[in-house]
DNA sequence: CCTTGACCTCAAGTGAACTTGAAGTTGCAG
DNA sequence: CTGCAACTTCAAGTTCACTTGAGGTCAAGG
């Protein structure tokens, strides 16, 4: 009745059907049954997907996220892991902040070459100090992702 | 004389020799010549590698970084691109900060289930609002990377 | 009842950034 | 001078998170 087919879920969540099947295969989500061949999802899937998006944004891998849902289904998220991730996140934030400031300066810096700018060299020294990790998201993917990003899920 | 072979560069930069060859192939670095078969690098390669690490950390792809070095070799970095990247970075920082705070709360939240915690639900709503992008760095790679991370390059 | 389009499965492809392996060559310590 | 560790090339493999394609099934509208 209130159940959703995969297209509904895709539309309401912004997650492509192919990704939903993929998530199911990986155990991140489960359909509540089938109508013929077609998967049926409970509306609560939308909340679950939000949770998954959240985890991804926090830097968890799908594997890690899957582990956050107890085998019985509901989220039993390890609070220690959460705290640990918050810490990592915090480190990353500090790194990126330094980086952002460095970039901002470099963008307006009057020095001939960036290598001649003391501020830029400071940034380099910071990078050298090993302060830096790589985020890594491909340009094309990021673009497609951005184009798709509506994820409105009314509720 | 002061020239470095690939092992020296690897040791002093923390970048594996295989990655250095890869970078050369992609045009991110260049050897100054060969001794027999063996590549020789100018010590300035170390600064270049720091620059590359910096770019990676800022979220530039290798392709983008390569484009930042003029064909003649020295960095001619587009200041507008820099500013743009600083903006993206800033957005990401804000997202991650929200996320970090959410996670921190969730870690100490007394609610039975995270889904019952008002604060966590607020976080979910924020995520739903599309505030969220994914950083994406694999666990295994991150671990290997961390183990390797010394990058001391004594100047 | 029949068509059709939305769904299905399974396999293979993608792209980024490297790593690994096999097979060959060689600078240089002893 | 010789042996071998360390380099070389080139191809293929790896991980992650999906997407794409081929070929098949079937629920529902006309």
Per-residue model confidence as pLDDT tens digits over A68-78: 887 776 777 78
- Could B139 and A54 be called an inter-chain contact, meaning their C-beta atoms sit closer than 8 Å? no
Footprint of strand D on the protein (CB under 7 A): A 16, 18-19, 21-22, 35-38, 56, 61-63; B 5-7, 17, 21, 37-39, 136, 138-141
pLDDT band at B45 (very low <50, low <70, confident <90, very high): very high
Kindly report the CATH class assigned to A4-68: mainly alpha
What is the Cα–Cα distance from A57 to A47, expressed in whole angstroms? 15
Q: Report pLDDT for B29.
A: 96
Closest CA to B1 of B42, B51, B49: B42
**What values do phi and psi take at A65, rounded to 5?**
-65, -45
Which two structure tokens, joined as six digits, stand for A116? 């001649």
Within 10 angstroms of residue B104's Cβ, the number of other Cβ atoms is 18
What is the rounded radius of gyration, in angstroms, for the C-alpha atoms of chain A?
A: 21
Q: Are strands A38-41 and A4-5 parallel, antiparallel or unpaired?
A: antiparallel
A51, A63, A107: residue with CB nearest B83 = A107
Instruction: Provide the CATH number for the domain formed by B4-67 in this structure.
Output: 1.10.1660.10
CA B18 to C1' D3, in angstroms, rounded, equals 26
Selected residue with higher pLDDT from B39 and B126: B39
pLDDT score at A142: 36
Q: Could you give the 3-state DSSP secondary structure of residue B34? A: strand
Q: Is residue B142 over pLDDT 60? A: no
Please indicate whether, in this complex, the C-beta atoms of B79 and A138 are within 8 angstroms of each other. Answer: no
**What is the three-state SS of chain A?**
CCCEEHHHHHHHHCCCHHHHHHHHHCCCCCCCEEECCEEEECCCHHHHHHHHHHHHHCCCCHHHHHHHECCCCCECCCHHHHHHHHHHHHHHHHHHHHHHHHHHHHHHCCCCCHHHCHHHHHHHHHHHHHHCCCCCCCHHHHHHHHHHCCCCCCC
- Would you call B73 helix, strand, or coil by DSSP? coil
Q: What is the pLDDT of residue B128?
A: 65
Q: For B62-109, what is each residue's pLDDT tens digit? A: 998 998 887 776 777 888 888 888 888 888 888 788 888 888 888 888
Distance CA A22, CA A139 (A): 22
For the CA of B62 and the C1' of C16, the distance in angstroms is: 9
Instruction: Say if residues B98 and B92 touch (Cβ distance below 8 Å).
Output: no
Instruction: Give chain B positions within 8 Å (CB) of A150.
Output: 130
Burial class (CB in 10 A: 0-12, 13-18, 19+), B23: buried
Question: Which of A64, A82, A99 is nearest residue B58 as measured by Cβ atoms?
Answer: A99
What's the distance, Cα to Cα, between the start and end of chain B in Å?
Answer: 17
B135 touching A, CB under 8 A?
yes
Any CB–CB contact under 8 A between B96 and chain A?
yes
Please enumerate in sequence order all residues whose Cβ is within 8 A of that of A46, keeping only pairs 6 or more positions apart, or say none: A9, A12, A13, A153, A155
Nucleotides of D under 7 A from a protein CB: 6-9, 15-20, 24-28
Task: Give A 51-90 residues with CB within 8 A of chain B.
Answer: 51, 53-54, 56-59, 61, 63-64, 74-75, 77, 79-80, 82-83, 85-86, 89-90
Q: Token pair 């990078």 is at which residue?
A: A127
DSSP-derived pairing of the beta strands A38-41 and A33-35: antiparallel
Short-list B102, B121, B127, B133, CA closest to A153: B127
Instruction: Please give the pLDDT value at position B155.
Output: 41
Question: What pLDDT sits at residue B154?
Answer: 38
> Tens of pLDDT along A110-143?
887 788 888 888 888 777 655 444 443 333 333 3
């Amino acid at each position: 009745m209130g159940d959703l087919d995969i297209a509904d879920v895709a539309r309401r969540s912004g997650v492509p059907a192919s990704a939903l099947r993929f998530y199911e295969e990986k155990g991140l989500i489960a359909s509540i049954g089938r109508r013929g061949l077609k998967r049926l999802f409970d509306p609560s899937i939308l909340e679950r997907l939000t949770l998954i998006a959240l985890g991804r944004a926090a830097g968890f891998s799908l594997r890690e996220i899957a582990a956050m849902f107890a085998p019985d289904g509901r989220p039993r998220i390890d609070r220690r892991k959460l705290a640990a991730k918050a810490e990592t996140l915090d480190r990353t934030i500090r790194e990126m902040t330094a980086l952002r400031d460095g970039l901002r300066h470099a963008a307006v810096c009057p020095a001939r070459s960036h290598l001649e700018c003391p501020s830029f060299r400071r940034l380099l020294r910071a990078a050298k100090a090993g302060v830096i990790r790589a985020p890594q998201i491909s340009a094309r993917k990021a673009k497609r992702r951005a184009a798709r990003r509506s994820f409105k899920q009314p509720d």
